[in-house]
């Protein structure tokens, strides 16, 4: 076999390197050399195109169907943001291109986008500054907890405990523990929000701070939010607001005004990047004045002459948590989305997210048990406990039956404080027709639970494969790959 490299440039001699010469030059041990040629798949372009098109048609997504997966904000994201993000000037930027060079300031536009998005997020949240670096919501949480730790270290505070209500998002305790804190869980009261008396009992000098998902995973907003912040501040604790689902309050209220010291946002839920499939995401973290100096590097700064640069020189910074520009395309799409909607549009986002969730809550509460009554924010949580008690039907059966009716199931069995939980988040982008069709499907399923429960247990029946044995599928990849 011969590897042949040819240079077609005129005047240059073409040259050839034999396999033996390659082996010699990079010193591969004889026992590591293959004896026969590798069997590589031989497929035509058409076969490959058909394979991937077929896979894409099996996809279930927001572009195909209603996707009310609670706590995930599976909403429609305007295609114009995708289009602009795909412009060569953005998409082909390399992080090592020079920030500033006479005659070609190649990354100045990107730096301005990051800088301006930071400024817009300050206005939206009421915080004093942001890091745009974190690559996901949970990454933002970890960054925030590292900032909390840096603050206490700097002040010489010996504090180890972070308080987190049991209705918070599951990543909250994980992030606090990863940052080295002890987590103390605070229970949720009968109204579905963190119990204030239990919090008062838990606040002491060892408390480094509190992490609050708000609205919480029941979709409920905590009315004691000011008092909670004051309580934590009274022991020099830091308050952290999980704002992954800011669509619940955007343009209406600001975590900074509530008294929070740290906030993270999920640009890939609230601000125009499809969420799911493992990324990419962006979880910017905002802080108030007293924590600004701990923000990670790099930070985009604006120079006096109006140009932008990445600044690394911050002595008290927690350091480096992501390379270069963060997930730039996600930041860019958030920027486009915010500018496109404007203040009024963002307020309508919150209004519609909340209206849609409450419409579903009202329409379905006759059919499914609603463990926490009262107006919700962007999502509502039902329980299948009534169906379980009366007909032996579980939340999972209802979820599978929804697939047959063309809907993605809601989040089930979460939050864990609700038995047989079904967490429904319609988002702000769905039409009344779609939401009504979903409500009707849920009502039909509730009726079927009474009239023919066995049929429900057999769902889904319209999919290429029937209901898998999920325990086996997690262990046996052959089943999982079906
Ligand atoms: C989705 C979510 C997170 C985590 O965000 P990821 O980007 O998935 O890491 C954190 N908190 C809440 C409330 C969320 O909904």
pLDDT > 70: what percent of the chain? 93
What does the pLDDT average to over 192-200? 97
The answer for residues whose C-beta is within 8 angstroms of residue 145's C-beta and 6 or more apart is 162, 175, 176, 178, 179, 181, 211, 240
> Across 48-57, 88-97, 104-113, 208-217, which has the greatest mean pLDDT?
208-217
By mean pLDDT, which of 165-174, 235-244, 399-408, 470-479 is the weakest?
470-479
Could you read off the pLDDT of 362-395 as tens digits, one per residue?
Answer: 999 999 999 999 999 999 999 999 999 999 999 9
Measure 429 CA to ligand 1 centroid, in angstroms.
Answer: 19
Q: Which residue has the CA at smallest separation from atom 8 of ligand 1?
A: 137
- Distance in Å, CA 448 to ligand 1 centroid: 34
State the distance from the centre of ligand 1 to the C-alpha of 138, rounded, in angstroms: 6
Query: In whole angstroms, what is the distance from residue 412 CA to residue 417 CA?
Result: 12
Average pLDDT over residues 269-295: 90
pLDDT tens digits for range 317-354: 999 999 888 999 999 999 999 999 999 999 999 999 99
pLDDT tens profile 19-28: 777 777 788 8
Residues near ligand 1 with C-beta < 6 Å? 71, 136-138, 169, 171, 213, 242, 244-245, 266, 281, 283
Residue range 80-106: average pLDDT?
82
What separation in Å is there between the alpha carbon of 19 and the centre of ligand 1?
52
| Atom 12 of ligand 1, residue of closest alpha carbon | 244
Give the per-residue pLDDT at 150.
98
Other C-beta atoms within 10 Å of 461: how many?
12
Contact 117, 308 (CB under 8 A): no
CB 206 within 8 A of CB 177: no
Does position 14 have pLDDT exceeding 70, yes or no?
no
pTM here is: 0.88
Domain-by-domain residue ranges, the chain? 3-32, 79-340, 351-475
Average pLDDT in the chain:
92
How does residue 7 score in pLDDT terms, banded at 50, 70 and 90? low
Pocket test for ligand 1, best of 133, 139, 143, 171 (most atoms within 8 A of CB): 171
pLDDT band at residue 39 using 50, 70 and 90 as cut-offs: confident
Instruction: Give the position, in ligand 1's atom list, of the atom nearest the Cα of 141.
Output: 10
Q: How far, in Å, is the centroid of ligand 1 from the Cα of 266?
A: 7
CATH number of 351-475: 3.90.1150.10
Question: Is a pLDDT exceeding 60 seen at residue 480?
Answer: no
Q: Of 28-42, 167-181, 278-292, 467-481, which has the strongest mean pLDDT?
A: 167-181
Cα-to-centroid distance, 275 and ligand 1 (Å)? 10
Hey, whose CA ends up nearest to atom 4 of ligand 1? 137
Taking CA atoms, 33 is separated from 19, 30, 36, 40, in Å, by: 11, 5, 9, 17
| pLDDT, tens only, 141-155 | 999 999 999 999 999
pLDDT value at position 277? Answer: 63
Which is it for the CA torsion 216, 221, 222, 228, positive or negative? Answer: positive
Q: Among 71, 170, 281, 424, say which to mutate for ligand 1: greatest number of ligand atoms within 8 Å of CB.
A: 71
Contacts of 270 (CB under 8 A, 6+ apart): 73, 243, 244, 245, 246, 247, 250
Query: In this predicted structure, what is the pLDDT of residue 472?
Result: 82
- Dist. CA 134 → ligand 1 center (Å): 12
Domain topology for 79-340: 3.40.640
Quote the percentage of the chain above a pLDDT of 90.
Answer: 77
Distance between Cα 409 and ligand 1 center (Å): 18
**Is residue 382 helix, strand or coil?**
strand
**pLDDT tens digits, 99-135:** 766 555 678 999 999 999 999 999 999 999 999 999 9
* Residue 60 pLDDT exceeds 60: yes
Atom of ligand 1 nearest to the CA of 217: 13
């Amino acid at each position: 076999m011969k590897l042949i490299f040819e240079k077609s440039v005129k005047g240059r001699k073409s040259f050839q390197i034999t396999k033996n010469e390659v082996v010699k030059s990079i010193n591969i041990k004889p026992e590591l050399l293959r004896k026969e040629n590798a069997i590589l798949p031989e497929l035509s372009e058409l076969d490959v195109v058909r394979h991937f098109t077929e896979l894409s048609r099996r996809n279930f997504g927001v572009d195909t169907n209603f996707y009310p997966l609670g706590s995930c904000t599976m909403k429609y994201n305007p295609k114009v943001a995708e289009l602009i993000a795909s412009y060569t000037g953005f998409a082909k930027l390399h992080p090592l291109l020079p920030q500033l060079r006479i005659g070609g300031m190649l990354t100045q536009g990107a730096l301005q986008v990051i800088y301006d998005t930071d400024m817009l997020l300050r206005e939206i949240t009421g915080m004093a500054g942001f890091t745009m670096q974190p690559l996901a919501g949970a990454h933002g949480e970890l960054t925030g907890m590292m900032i909390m730790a840096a603050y206490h270290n700097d002040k010489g505070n010996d504090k180890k405990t972070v308080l987190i209500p049991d209705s918070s998002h599951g990543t909250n305790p994980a992030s606090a523990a990863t940052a080295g804190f002890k987590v103390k869980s605070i229970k949720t009261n009968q109204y579905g929000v963190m119990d204030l008396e239990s919090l008062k009992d838990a606040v002491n000098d060892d408390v480094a701070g509190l992490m609050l998902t708000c609205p919480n995973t029941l979709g409920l907003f905590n009315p004691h939010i000011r008092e909670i912040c004051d309580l934590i501040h009274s022991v020099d604790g830091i308050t952290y607001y999980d704002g992954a689902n800011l669509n619940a309050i955007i343009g209406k209220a600001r975590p900074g005004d509530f008294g929070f010291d740290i906030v993270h946002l999920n640009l890939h839920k609230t601000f125009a990047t499809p969420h799911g499939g493992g990324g990419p995401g962006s979880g910017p973290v905002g802080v108030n004045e007293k924590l600004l100096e701990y923000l990670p590097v790099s930070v985009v700064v604006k120079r006096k002459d109006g140009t932008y640069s990445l600044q690394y020189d911050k002595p008290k910074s927690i350091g480096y948590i992501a390379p270069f520009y963060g997930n730039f395309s996600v930041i860019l799409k958030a920027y486009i989305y915010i500018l496109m909607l404007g203040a009024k549009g963002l307020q309508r986002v919150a209004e519609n997210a909340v209206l849609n969730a409450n419409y579903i809550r009202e329409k379905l509460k006759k059919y499914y048990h609603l463990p926490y009554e009262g107006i919700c924010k962007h999502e509502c949580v039902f329980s299948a406990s009534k169906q379980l008690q009366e007909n032996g039907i579980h939340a999972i059966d209802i979820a599978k039956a929804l697939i047959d009716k063309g809907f993605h199931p809601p989040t089930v069995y979460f939050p864990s404080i609700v038995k047989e939980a079904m967490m429904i988040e319609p988002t702000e982008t769905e039409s009344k027709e779609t939401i009504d069709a979903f409500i009707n499907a849920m009502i039909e399923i509730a009726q079927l639970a009474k009239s023919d429960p066995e049929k429900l247990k057999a769902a889904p029946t319209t999919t290429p494969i029937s209901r898998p044995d999920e325990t086996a599928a997690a262990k046996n990849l052959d089943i999982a790959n079906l």
